Amino acid sequence: MANKGTCKAEGCSREAVAKHYCRKHYRLWKRDEMPKARYKTCTAENCRKPRFKGSLCEQHWTVAHGKGEAAGGAPEAAQGS
Ligand SMILES: [Zn+2]
Ligand SMILES: [Zn+2]
């Protein structure tokens, strides 16, 4: 029997059967009920992108900081004749 080690879920020391989870936690994982703490995600609603700065992803951070649109337009100093 190959020893796969123990479940990686916190506080669980059962024998791992798949994905480093025990039977019980593997089932949860398959149902997407295990917390995936690979990276923190953006706090904006319905956004699951990884964080870029602070608690926002790059897209939302850019919007929040008003850098979405380039404030173009040269100063109108050349008017008049
Ligand atoms: Zn477990
Ligand atoms: Zn976002």
* 37-64 pLDDT, tens digit each: 556 788 888 888 888 998 899 999 999 9
CA of 43 to the centre of ligand 1 (A): 28
| pTM score of the predicted model | 0.40
Task: Answer yes or no: do 21 and 45 share one domain.
Answer: no
CA of 52 to the centre of ligand 1 (A): 31
The two structure tokens encoding residue 25: 């936690």
Ligand nearest to the CA of 18: 1
Burial code (b: 16+ CB inside 10 Å, e: under 16) for 34-71 equals beeeeeeebebeeeeeebeeeebbeebbeeeeeeeeee
* pLDDT the model gives residue 43: 86
In a domain, 74, yes or no: no
Structural domain range at position 20: 1-35
Residue 15, beta-bridge partner list: 6
In a domain, 4, yes or no: yes
Task: Answer yes or no: do 40 and 25 share one domain.
Answer: no
- φ, ψ at 25 (rounded to 5°): -75, -30
Q: Which are the contacts of 75, defined by CB distance < 8 A and separation ≥ 6?
A: none
Name the residue with higher pLDDT: 70 or 24. Answer: 24
Task: Answer yes or no: do 41 and 27 share one domain.
Answer: no
CA of 40 to the centre of ligand 1 (A): 22
Instruction: Please tell me the total count of domains within the chain.
Output: 2
